[in-house]
Structure 1
């Protein structure tokens, strides 16, 4: 899976998001949604498992309290949803508290970020994007 691009979308009345067509072809029938501090991350089950495992490079140690708590928290925050026949995912399955904290109501920005996609409130994405230096400044050392 290799997701790229930035897309503006509106949620429908049932808080469903229609995934960009190029994403639908790659994600399949099931998506794992993880609300974080700035956005909701969307993964395939396989890429979600790899992402969770990346926090434990030596493997999950069941005798390490931090490992167990982090793993449990990541799994508890994850909501697995089906992609319907119209290519929509139900953001209403994410807790109302998380959606409110993220400011996700109607207008959203969906970005591809390699092995996952991110769902931002349109306003939060715009504010974050305006804080980034120019692409040239980030790509090249002076």
Structure 2
């Protein structure tokens, strides 16, 4: 069954770099999942196993002679942490390397993105949400033209 992640949830990072996964997202995430960078390199992404396998299948189509393509694959795979599991309290450890890349501080926002979850720094997410609200008509026109 495909995941159906939706909603936004605020949580705090603890001193050990762990965060609690919102209860409403836990079951869909599954027992094992991958932590990686989102497609815009602005937040972390949690991918259920099934979705991560789809991403890997697409990446495996890049020819080894495609230098730019291989650079992209190397970046994505080199910043992906597979086989993650939640502890008994529903917490996960967010790798320091990834937290630094996207500027995560203590206050975080989990955002359901249909087939995966994004984890944003709260202030960065708030700024992005305000920008989306100000440009909503333009965003809607963009979506209607393309999808």
Quick check: TM above 0.5?
A: yes
2 CA distance for matches of 1:45 and 1:83?
14
Alignment correspondent of 1:3: 5
User: What are the within-5 Å matches in structure 2 for residues 1-142 of structure 1?
Assistant: 1-36=3-38, 37-54=41-58, 59-80=61-82, 81-91=84-94, 93-95=95-97, 98-133=98-133, 137=137, 138-139=139-140
Q: CA deviation at 1:22?
A: 1.6
Change (3 A) 1:115 1:94: farther
TM-score, normalised via structure 1 length: 0.81
TM-score, normalised via structure 2 length: 0.79
Show structure 1 runs of 4+ deviating over 3 A. 52-56, 133-136, 138-141
Cα RMSD (Å): 2.3
Matched residue pairs, number? 136
Unmatched runs of 5 consecutive residues or more in structure 2? none
**Which shifted more, 110-119 or 30-39?**
30-39
Q: Secondary structure at the match of 2:124?
A: helix
2 CA distance for matches of 1:14 and 1:116?
24
